[in-house]
Amino acid sequence: FSKNVVDDEISYVYIISGLAAIFLCYVLISFCFDLGIRVVMLAFLQMYAPVAVISRIMPGKAKDMFSKWLKKAIATWAEVFIRIATMYIAVYLLNLLFTNDIFSQINAQTQGFFFGTFAKIFIILGIIAFAKQAPKLLSELTGIDSGNMKLGIKDKLAAGGAFTMGAG
């Protein structure tokens, strides 16, 4: 990559690329926190499975425990794979942009480096933002509760007790 930049085969704008990289890292770290939470929830639901199955044979309101457990287990399992699938779709779309030489067509249609560069930036950041919002959209369409898929890492760190541990 650095050889291509030195040979002027690739133009690299440090400020714009740096800001885009920071945004991308922010989204990916947030995405990893969400997946980590879902995986731990699946592990807990797996450990809780015997209790839910045994509650099915008990009379009264204990029977509802199994149906609640089953609904939560299916929803959490679907959330994990929906998030992974949306990340694969985003990577596929970004790969399509770079392999099909769409960016050179954008430069030709926008008639200039400045507008073409901003068009590229907004397309890339739009795909990344879509990957972040797609699980929520799919949960609204399918009715599966997707939990909170916020963009902020601060809330996720606070929920995990990182700030309390840091203060201690």
∠71-61-77 over CA atoms, to 5°?
Answer: 10
42 compared with 62, residue with greater pLDDT: 42
Q: Is the pLDDT of residue 162 over 60?
A: no
3-state secondary structure of 157: helix
**Count of H-run helices and E-run strands, the chain:** 7, 0
The pLDDT score that the predictor gives to residue 156 is: 57
pLDDT band at 151 (very low <50, low <70, confident <90, very high): very low
Q: Is the pLDDT of residue 7 over 70?
A: yes
Choose among 95, 118, 141, 101: nearest CA to 15.
Answer: 118
Choose among 152, 147, 150: nearest CA to 41.
Answer: 147
The pLDDT score that the predictor gives to residue 103 is: 63
- Residues 139 and 67: their CA atoms lie apart, in Å, by 20
Tens of pLDDT along 73-120? Answer: 998 888 888 888 888 998 898 888 877 766 666 655 656 666 767 777
pLDDT band at 42 (very low <50, low <70, confident <90, very high): very high
pTM of the complete model:
0.65
